[in-house]
Structure 1
Amino acid sequence: MKKFIGACILLFAITGANAQKLSDRATISVITCGPFQKELYSAFGHSAFRVYDPDRNIDAVFNYGVFDFDQPNFYLNFARGYLYYKLAAYDYQSFEFSYIRDNRFIHDQELNLTSEQKQKLFDYLMWNHKPKNENYRYDYFYNNCATKIRDVVVTALGKDVTFDGSYIKTDYTIRQLTDLYLDHQPWGDLGIDICLGLPMDKKASPYEYMFLPDYIESGFDHATIQQNGTTVPLVKAKVNVYEARPKESAGGLPHPMYVFGTFALLCIAITVRDFKKGKPSAWLDSVLFIVTGLLGFLLFFLWFFTDHQAAAKNFNLLWALPSNLVAAIALFRRPEPGWLKKYFLGVTILSALLLLTWPILPQQLHTSLIPIVIAILIRAFTQYKLWKK
């Protein structure tokens, strides 16, 4: 009954005309939740606010990680990079239960705020939750459910809050920070590395580290706030609400390196046979160049025709050439030697140069793709050498 009453009061506070006044015993916390490896989007953890006021029967979570499949043109907007997430407010106990059920740690950082500062932050959250204000333009790295926690505190409390990034001793790029969380999802890591381009390879500043919930937690641990002319820690108390139990990693698909390595060995074996026969296996090359060509069109589309800023300047287009699709179709028609023979020579040279310069490219390409590039090289060379025969 108490939870029901609290939920009703919260609903009234959110929808009512008058703002809810917090009591002196109210607390506002930053909640950090651990990763969940069954889904790619949950592998990085999560952040939210908790507002607890026993005198007002409020125990609510304010969660910026919610999106609505029913919003107009959701899938079209998703493909184009116009991702809209929103702030949701609901019962904290339900939120906590769902994360404990999935064995995800929960850390609670109670913020060291005066009554006035708590009210300012709470008023901002209430305003932000109104239907006309609840949606925001989502960005994977610069405006997500974690960065919103930091940005809301700065917006609500202004220059009184200072984040000190001097505790960051590493020099990771955004891509390397992302990789840290995907050891158990190698195929997801591969997909991200293929689809996202050079912007992911910039060195992240300490402020930019905070697109990850773990670094939101660390950032708040090292932040300060001004109170009556005095600088005090922003975090007053920290509680480990729940620590995840150790568990074995669930089995999954073979690692991409094993799959692509096996494919490259198969291509080498077929190539040896083709040279003995004096005739290339057009079926293999058609499949290889159709797949890489279609992937190239996808990467080209993400770069030039969407608003996914992180997908720009993608060096994976050096092996996933959109023109491969045209070459694959031409293989079926068997035109006279000419442009197609020259095309395969160009692909051979480009693939060789890509392999030679792999370690020094400004974009970090996924190492599991090396066997694919080797397969492209030897099959393009086979087509070039055996075309007349």
Structure 2
Amino acid sequence: MKKICLLLLTISPFFGYAQNLKLSPEAEIHVLTCGPYQGELYSAFGHSAIRVKDPGKGYDILYNYGVFDFDQPNFYLNFTRGHLYYKLGVTDYRRFRDYYIYYNRYIREQVLNLSVEQKQELFDFLQWNALPENQYYLYDYFYDNCATRVRDALVKTFGDKVSFDGSYVETKHTIRSLTDIYLKQQPWGDLGIDICLGLPMDVEATPYMYMFLPDYIEQGFNHATIVRDGKNVPLVKETLITYESKPEADQASAITPFIVFVLLLAGGTFLTYLGFTRDKRFVWVDCFMFSVVGVLGWLLLFLWAGTDHRAAANNLNLLWAVPLHFPVALMLLKRNKSLFLKNYFKIMAILSLLLLAAWAFLPQQLHYSLIPLVMLLGLRSFYIQRYLSKNEGA
């Protein structure tokens, strides 16, 4: 909470509603790229912003598209449904800079190679965009965020005078694999994203799509040109290193999802062995496990069908997080076991086996740490149906 408060304190209304401010010929416009911070999931990807620096007029203004307001109506409901509104915040540059230095996040500034008139055009757009009626936008993690808005500010201002040459991108990453790169120190966050987001994450990203990440905004601008005074010139004149972050120890937890699920598989295998040798059911264990997985399945189904999170659609994690597990699992507590239960868990055992066999060939990249969990679900499903068949009259 302290970090959130510090960030909110950087937001200043001083320049927010200003209009028709004019720049002097000494003015510069910088695109800032700030390094990641592993203390929070949302900050692991870095940040982008625009600085308007004018020594002649005494301006040093920071335009930040990464601001959201907890006090907006129905904040949590909107967040859940994918209707979260971010806004363009305006602050004093030094406050912004000092905040990122405090958290040891590097700051690099690209000085844009614009004419005097073009600087004023971009500044006019930013002033207009910061007005109360224009500053809000519907946030999308991958297609409309604090990084893409920086790029789009130039595109909206200069149109086809700005050209991005994506030939420097030689990799063939999907959006999912790009996020994986930034979440190596946050394995639980990486797992959560991989579970909640579906097939749209596995589309091969174009160079333009790479720019949902601040690092690729920086690289994209380094490989872009703009028409200035009738000539095609590099968009970036020079890059300034404002702050170089100090090396830090890896903050990743030693307790990874894979380790946890392997331990669960080992425990489940042991219980299954006891079940076979001593004819025990461990019904509460199965009821709890399948209920939790079923509730997760309903959540994934809701994210797909009940929200506007485009990346949550067509989620193949529903092949193992089957929503029907809850409430079917509760039926295991009944004394009289039905034919339905026996057939249900027989189908689930077969489905788990087929899923494991097809894992590497699915169009959606499922997180590797889920393999032991799916093995456990399949093993317990097999045991349940076998026990029910053996004790059908019980």
| TM-score calculated relative to the size of structure 2 | 0.94
The one-letter amino acid of 1:167's match is Y
Return the offset for 1:325. Answer: 0.9
Return the offset for 1:15. Answer: 2.9
The one-letter amino acid of 1:172's match is H
Q: Which residue of 2 aligns with 1:280?
A: 281
- For the pair 1:20 / 2:16, whether they are aligned, the reply is no
Q: Which residue of 1 aligns with 2:206?
A: 205
- For the pair 1:31 / 2:49, whether they are aligned, the reply is no
Query: Alpha-carbon deviations, 1:171-205, whole Å to 9, x = none?
Result: 00000000000000000000000000000000000
Describe how 1:312-327 pairs up with structure 2 within 5 A. Answer: 312-327=313-328
Describe how 1:257-276 pairs up with structure 2 within 5 A. Answer: 257-276=258-277
Return the offset for 1:237. Answer: 1.1
Return the offset for 1:336. Answer: 3.2
Separation in structure 1 between the aligned mates of residue 190 and residue 222 of structure 2, nearest angstrom: 29
Return the offset for 1:337. Answer: 3.0
- Cα separation, partners in 2 of 1:35 and 1:54, compared to 1, 3 Å: same
Separation in structure 1 between the aligned mates of residue 142 and residue 365 of structure 2, nearest angstrom: 17
The one-letter amino acid of 1:67's match is F
- Cα separation, partners in 2 of 1:12 and 1:177, compared to 1, 3 Å: closer
Query: Alpha-carbon deviations, 1:302-328, whole Å to 9, x = none?
Result: 001000010000000000001001221
The one-letter amino acid of 2:372's match is P
Q: Which residue of 2 aligns with 1:7?
A: none
Separation in structure 1 between the aligned mates of residue 145 and residue 335 of structure 2, nearest angstrom: 51
Return the offset for 1:251. Answer: 5.6
Separation in structure 2 between the aligned mates of residue 89 and residue 27 of structure 1, nearest angstrom: 17
Q: Which residue of 2 aligns with 1:193?
A: 194
The one-letter amino acid of 2:70's match is F
The answer to whether the 8 Å contact 1:13/1:20 transfers is no
SS class of match (2:215): helix
Return the offset for 1:277. Answer: 1.5
Separation in structure 1 between the aligned mates of residue 232 and residue 175 of structure 2, nearest angstrom: 31
Separation in structure 2 between the aligned mates of residue 166 and residue 233 of structure 1, nearest angstrom: 15
- Cα separation, partners in 2 of 1:40 and 1:106, compared to 1, 3 Å: same
Note the residue ranges of structure 2 that are not aligned, 5 or more in a row: 1-11
The answer to whether the 8 Å contact 1:103/1:245 transfers is yes
Describe how 1:214-233 pairs up with structure 2 within 5 A. Answer: 214-233=215-234
SS class of match (1:236): strand
The answer to whether the 8 Å contact 2:87/2:137 transfers is yes
Return the offset for 1:13. Answer: 5.7
Separation in structure 1 between the aligned mates of residue 86 and residue 104 of structure 2, nearest angstrom: 25
Query: Alpha-carbon deviations, 1:34-82, whole Å to 9, x = none?
Result: 0000000000000000000011111011000000000001100100011
Return the offset for 1:93. Answer: 0.3
Query: Alpha-carbon deviations, 1:324-377, whole Å to 9, x = none?
Result: 012211011233331000000000000000000000000000000001000000
Separation in structure 1 between the aligned mates of residue 203 and residue 212 of structure 2, nearest angstrom: 14
- For the pair 1:331 / 2:339, whether they are aligned, the reply is no
- For the pair 1:144 / 2:145, whether they are aligned, the reply is yes
Separation in structure 1 between the aligned mates of residue 16 and residue 346 of structure 2, nearest angstrom: 66
Percent identity reads 54
SS class of match (1:64): strand
Q: Which residue of 2 aligns with 1:381?
A: 382
Describe how 1:74-89 pairs up with structure 2 within 5 A. Answer: 74-89=75-90
The one-letter amino acid of 1:88's match is G
- Count how many residue pairs are aligned between Structure 1 and Structure 2: 379
Q: Which residue of 2 aligns with 1:346?
A: 347
SS class of match (1:110): strand
Separation in structure 2 between the aligned mates of residue 14 and residue 52 of structure 1, nearest angstrom: 15
SS class of match (1:93): helix
- Cα separation, partners in 2 of 1:363 and 1:21, compared to 1, 3 Å: same
The answer to whether the 8 Å contact 1:13/1:19 transfers is no
Separation in structure 2 between the aligned mates of residue 335 and residue 110 of structure 1, nearest angstrom: 74
Q: Which residue of 2 aligns with 1:254?
A: 255
The answer to whether the 8 Å contact 2:185/2:252 transfers is no
The answer to whether the 8 Å contact 2:261/2:373 transfers is yes
SS class of match (2:294): helix
SS class of match (2:60): strand
Q: Which residue of 1 aligns with 2:363?
A: 362
SS class of match (1:47): strand
Note the residue ranges of structure 1 that are not aligned, 5 or more in a row: 1-9
Q: Which residue of 1 aligns with 2:158?
A: 157
Separation in structure 1 between the aligned mates of residue 168 and residue 95 of structure 2, nearest angstrom: 34
Return the offset for 1:142. Answer: 0.4
Return the offset for 1:11. Answer: 5.9
Separation in structure 2 between the aligned mates of residue 38 and residue 239 of structure 1, nearest angstrom: 26
SS class of match (2:207): coil
The answer to whether the 8 Å contact 1:46/1:213 transfers is yes
SS class of match (1:247): coil
- For the pair 1:241 / 2:221, whether they are aligned, the reply is no
Q: Which residue of 2 aligns with 1:46?
A: 47
| TM-score calculated relative to the size of structure 1 | 0.96
Following TM superposition, where does structure 1 have runs of at least 4 consecutive aligned residues deviating by more than 6 angstroms? none
- For the pair 1:106 / 2:107, whether they are aligned, the reply is yes
SS class of match (1:250): coil
The answer to whether the 8 Å contact 1:36/1:43 transfers is yes
Return the offset for 1:253. Answer: 5.5
The answer to whether the 8 Å contact 2:32/2:109 transfers is yes
The answer to whether the 8 Å contact 1:296/1:321 transfers is yes
